[in-house]
Amino acid sequence: MPRNGRGVVATMTSTTSRVFIHARLADATSRLVGACEIVPMMGSALGVVEYARSWTESGRAFPLHPDLLPLRRGQFTLRTRGGLGCLADSTPDLWGRRIIAASMNPPPADGPAWLLATGDDRVGCLAFSKTPSLGAVGESFGSVMNLERIAEAFQRIERGEPADPLSEHLYRAGISLGGVRPKAVVDYEGHLWIAKFQRRTDEFDQCGAEDAAMRLAARCGIDAAETRMCKAGSHRVVLVRRFDRSPGPPYHPTGHFLSALSALDLDETSGDGSYPQIADFLHRHSAAHRVDREELFRRMVFNVLIGNRDDHLKNHAIMHRPGTGWRLTPAFDVLPQPDMDPVQAISVGKHGTTPSIANCLTRCGEFGLHEDPARALIETIVARLRGWRTFYGESGVDGRTIDRLRRAFSPTLDPAN
Ligand SMILES: Nc1ncnc2c1ncn2[C@@H]1O[C@H](COP(=O)(O)OP(=O)(O)OP(=O)(O)O)[C@@H](O)[C@H]1O
Ligand SMILES: [Mg+2]
């Protein structure tokens, strides 16, 4: 069945309610995992998932969700995210939805239609079809050589103008990924990267701020996805290396991706969700829960100190890789947010979303840390963050942006303290 191509999605009908789920594996094969049927239910919808026998009996099987969709025969119900539950991680957010909806007639009307409208650029290894057989892998990346053209097309789209067909072809890779920022998937130096572009409304160098924050995170001992800065004409672009694709073309998926939103089975609109809850999920499922929980604590402290207030549940993730099992993924989408309210997006401790070190310490035991080692870990991060301004300057971030970012960073980091 043709999938993923321009115009192909336009032939889908809005009545689709069942979708077959597949896993694309690292050896270029794919397996039928099962099916999901969406059942309308009093203004909302339930998803009913059933695994294929060939999947549950396969030696390569993994559960789509370790709590909600255990690997056995029978029917399982998904109640969040319009009945898609964790499958919704394979669909885009604001940015991709806007482009997909504009290029389809009629636009996707329900969860299955959205799954079918996505391409092989989607995060993780799942793929979807209307019949039990899956089509060939669609072209799911562009070239780093085209960044300038893509940036110009994005500026046009943001102004509400149509993009020319060639540009549309170039930026298609990336629309199935989540997030609100314009992005495309490109290959560069033998890896796949997510290219994140400036927005028309950006008031400071967001791309440079993200690149420097990710490298600063690595300096603080955090396993952060690798980044590079690129110029595309007058535009700054940050490249973030994909951790869910193997190196070298054709860049096979390396495992199954579960956002923390999916792991905790919450809706995007939910006010629930916290770092300790993610730690609890890791405690129960991670193949190295001590390491992963401590790493999560480090990321929480880092986010509090640099003022990354946009640390919502889709900005944390867990992946299942063959031979490894479930592990926290590298950190992504980490940057100071000087214009957001000074509260974290999710709770850090007993005082909710209050961004303070004291609050981080209130539940450190749930990250497997006694108070003394937790304090020592925080001290190390604080010491490495004190020179953040110099680090940002040396990373090519302009002085005006650095001044703007200052109010996001914790006063604890001021040289005087
Ligand atoms: N390095 C990566 N490797 C694989 N997948 C990634 C990587 N970085 C991000 N993703 C996936 O792409 C999605 C969008 O990326 P990201 O969060 O960086 O975009 P954004 O537009 O800045 O998001 P937001 O709306 O949270 O600001 C993530 O939610 C995640 O599913
Ligand atoms: Mg994000």
| Domain limits, the chain | 17-129, 142-241, 256-413
> What burial class does residue 1 get, using C-beta atoms within 10 Å of its C-beta: 0-12 exposed, 13-18 middle, 19+ buried?
exposed
DSSP state of 16: -
Residue 354 phi, psi (nearest 5): -60, 125
Protein residue closest via CA to atom 26 of ligand 1: 179
The ligand minimizing its distance to the Cα of 333 is 1
Select from 3.30.200.120, 1.20.1050.10, 3.20.20.70, 3.30.420.10 the CATH code of 142-241.
3.30.200.120
For 359, other C-beta atoms within 10 Å of its C-beta total 19
Separation in Å, CA 257 to CA 4, 45, 68, 187: 20, 23, 15, 20
pLDDT digits (tens, 9 = 90+) for 63-118: 999 999 999 999 999 999 999 999 999 999 888 888 888 778 888 888 999 999 99
DSSP state of 235: E
pLDDT of residue 95: 85
Preceding omega of 106 cis (within 30 degrees of 0): yes
For 203, other C-beta atoms within 10 Å of its C-beta total 11
Task: Check: CB of residue 345 under 8 Å from CB of residue 265.
Answer: no
Protein residue closest via CA to atom 24 of ligand 1: 179
Atom of ligand 1 nearest to the CA of 333: 18
Q: Which residue has the tokens 């109640």?
A: 79
pLDDT digits (tens, 9 = 90+) for 126-138: 999 999 999 888 7
For 94, other C-beta atoms within 10 Å of its C-beta total 10
pLDDT of residue 30: 95
Protein residue closest via CA to atom 18 of ligand 1: 333
Question: CA 363 to CA 56: how far, in whole Å?
Answer: 38
Name the residues around ion ligand 2, CB cutoff 5 A. 179, 315, 333
Residue 203 phi, psi (nearest 5): -100, -5
Answer whether 309 contacts ligand 1 (Cβ < 6 A).
Answer: no
pLDDT of residue 273: 96
Kindly give the confidence (pLDDT) of every residue in the chain, 417 residues in length, as a single tens digit, with 9 standing for 90 and above: 223 322 223 333 344 489 999 999 988 899 999 999 999 888 889 999 999 999 999 999 999 999 999 999 999 999 999 999 999 999 998 888 888 887 788 888 889 999 999 999 999 999 999 999 998 887 678 888 889 888 888 888 888 887 777 667 767 778 889 889 999 999 999 999 999 999 988 999 999 999 999 999 999 999 999 999 999 888 899 999 999 999 999 999 999 999 999 999 999 999 999 999 999 999 999 999 999 999 999 999 999 999 999 999 999 999 999 999 999 999 999 999 999 999 999 999 999 999 999 999 999 999 999 999 999 999 999 999 999 999 999 999 999 999 999 999 999 998 776
Q: Which residue has the tokens 């995210």?
A: 81
pLDDT of residue 3: 31
Question: Ligand 1 centroid to 414 CA: how many Å?
Answer: 30
Task: Check: CB of residue 291 under 8 Å from CB of residue 279.
Answer: no
The ligand minimizing its distance to the Cα of 123 is 1
Protein residue closest via CA to atom 30 of ligand 1: 178
Half-sphere exposure of 247 (CA within 13 A, CB side): 2
For 312, other C-beta atoms within 10 Å of its C-beta total 16
Of 333, 296, 307, which Cα lies nearest the Cα of 413? Answer: 307
Question: Ligand 1 centroid to 75 CA: how many Å?
Answer: 31
Of 140, 268, 137, 248, which Cα lies nearest the Cα of 194? Answer: 140
Name the strands in the sheet holding 317-321, side by side, starting at the edge strand that comes first in the sequence.
Answer: 256-259, 317-321, 325-328
Question: Ligand 1 centroid to 170 CA: how many Å?
Answer: 19
Answer whether 366 contacts ligand 1 (Cβ < 6 A).
Answer: no
Strands (E), 173-234: 183-188, 191-197, 227-232
Point out which residues pair with 240 in neighbouring strands: 194, 227
Answer whether 122 contacts ligand 1 (Cβ < 6 A).
Answer: no
Protein residue closest via CA to atom 2 of ligand 1: 242
Task: Check: CB of residue 198 under 8 Å from CB of residue 206.
Answer: yes
Task: Check: CB of residue 193 under 8 Å from CB of residue 185.
Answer: yes
Of 124, 152, 78, which Cα lies nearest the Cα of 314? Answer: 124
Answer whether 332 contacts ligand 1 (Cβ < 6 A).
Answer: yes
Protein residue closest via CA to atom 20 of ligand 1: 179
Task: Check: CB of residue 75 under 8 Å from CB of residue 49.
Answer: yes
> What burial class does residue 11 get, using C-beta atoms within 10 Å of its C-beta: 0-12 exposed, 13-18 middle, 19+ buried?
exposed
Answer whether 124 contacts ligand 1 (Cβ < 6 A).
Answer: no
Task: Check: CB of residue 185 under 8 Å from CB of residue 121.
Answer: yes
Going by their DSSP bridges, the two strands 183-188 and 142-143 should be labelled as parallel
Question: CA 287 to CA 111: how far, in whole Å?
Answer: 31
Protein residue closest via CA to atom 6 of ligand 1: 242
Question: Ligand 1 centroid to 196 CA: how many Å?
Answer: 9
What is the DSSP track for 247-291? Answer: SSTT--B-SEEEEHHHHTT--TT-S--BHHHHHHHHHHHBTTHHH
Protein residue closest via CA to atom 13 of ligand 1: 178
